[in-house]
Amino acid sequence: MEADISESGLEGKKEKMMEIINNIRNCELGCYRDRYLFSLKTTGNRTISIDELVNGKPLIDDWRDQKILFISQAPSKQAWADHELSSLKNSFLADFLLPKIYPEENLETAFEKWQNSFFWIHTANCYPFVNRKGGKNDQAPGMKCANRYFGQIIDVMKPELIVLMGSSATKYFSHCLKPLTKSEKNYPSLEEILDWQCENRNQVIFTNPKNNNETYYETVIIPHAAKREKLSIAEKFAYELLIKKLKSTERL
């Protein structure tokens, strides 16, 4: 009887996750569509047309009963145009992210472990890279998509671990981060958060602001995997903490 109940619960979770995923993939709000025309058309050795950007669809991972929720800012232009996220065709995943979190594994093994462990979403699931005026970094998206879907995903998925990459991914959880870091900003900076995490030598414990039941989720914050500058002590610790957390729970 217990097995039947467990199986029924897993099936119900799958149905709810698929409903949320389909709602995101079929979203037609086009919150950032007017900005696609101003996006750079080249990425690496590839040229991506404006038409490819404009005709893209909201991008979110497939559901494979993963236990770790991974949140980053937005899909890369290449991933958006190809509509490939958790795939080795996604050069950001293959070239930057997997080597950072699975440094001891070959690419194929690292990818298999990623597929089995991580469910990947974004602060904005339809926001290709848009240059910040006068700067090399991208202009951060708003919280429209995060505020619409994060609470639902977390409550249904109930992840064993949440991983936030970059400053945009942390904003939804500022209700926990602000008092921890004692930041005077509405949204603590990534540097403040990483410094706090390093000084305390531990992951953060978050609650979902959309949930009144005060359910807690262990969380690790990491810098953007594509950062080319030398990593600071706090940034190095962030990846070390994630790798240690994965190993301790036998996910590596």
Q: How many CB atoms lie within 10 A of CB 179?
A: 10
Compute the radius of gyration of the chain from its Cα atoms: 18
Q: Considering the entire predicted model, what is its pTM?
A: 0.89
DSSP string of 91-116?
A: HHIIIIIHHHH-TTS-HHHHHHHHHH
Axis crossing angle, helix 190-200 with helix 233-248, rounded to the nearest 10: 60
CA separation for the pair 12, 17 (Å, rounded):
9
pLDDT at position 41? 56
Domains of the chain: 2-248 (3.40.470.10)
Q: Angle CA(174)–CA(179)–CA(185) in degrees, nearest 5?
A: 60
pLDDT at position 68? 96
pLDDT tens track of the chain, all 252 residues?
333 445 667 889 999 999 999 999 999 888 887 777 666 556 566 788 888 888 889 999 999 999 999 999 999 888 988 999 999 999 999 999 999 999 999 999 999 999 999 999 999 998 766 655 555 566 778 888 999 999 999 999 999 999 999 999 999 999 889 999 999 998 999 999 999 999 998 878 877 776 666 788 999 999 999 887 899 999 999 999 999 999 876 644
What burial class does residue 183 get, using C-beta atoms within 10 Å of its C-beta: 0-12 exposed, 13-18 middle, 19+ buried? middle
pLDDT at position 3? 39
Which residue in 146, 151, 163 sits closest to 66, CA to CA?
Answer: 163
Which tokens sit at 91?
């050069």
Beta-sheet strand order (sheet of 68-72): 118-122, 68-72, 161-165, 216-222, 204-207
pLDDT at position 40? 58
pLDDT at position 134? 54
